[in-house]
Structure 1
């Protein structure tokens, strides 16, 4: 192997080691958080996803007075613009992307936890018979055939 591929492999190994160390340290810190037990009860929130919530919103519990304030911060609350004659409800374009991604992950996990897939049907051990031979001929539709010409009848 050449020097450049070896150098790239060495850099990759160092980056993977650093990533593992960061994940281990963030897990330890998240489990020390006072709200870690509550956050871990949400469907779909394990340590990496659950640690993202306090990291994005901060430790100050009085920062958001109501749930709608947190929804607006994450970008999942609709924006309503009203005037005297019209009312428009639009999707929020400016948002915290990492919080919005966590919300989507949480919603998908909650849906799949409440609606599990049906259990697989027991196998009978038989397979569908294979179709062998040429396919059956296609029958033309009665209206698609051209009309037959009128032939003079001989008397």
Structure 2
């Protein structure tokens, strides 16, 4: 069985600092990914081609980040039956709400999963959870990551308790 890959697409290189969160999450779980820039508005034919060929190219999930009008995730969903996760990016005077609304309001039959504004890390985790349904190694890595996060919280609480003034 070929290992699942995730395709990360962003509308502009200015989205990269946010989308690096998805890359970080996927690296933590050891899921291969590729990153591309393609604009739903400036390069619509290229975007359609990327979406149409994603499954053939070995991808299992697509993460698409965009700001402002944020049509990229929806356009990709229109051309692919793979799960698409939209990352609304804060890139306007509306603080990312415009992107959030554009991504979550997809028409019936063309869903795009959506994470929080600038929530690319969680998009990477959600992609891993989707892959983990059919890949036990990924499912185990996710369980391990959750355990590590819980241990970090417990350690922070211990330090807090040690440093609080005694009443």
Whose helix fraction is larger, Structure 1's or Structure 2's?
A: 2
Is TM > 0.5 for Structure 1 vs Structure 2? no
> TM-score, normalized by length of structure 2?
0.25
> TM-score, normalized by length of structure 1?
0.27
Which has the larger Rg?
1
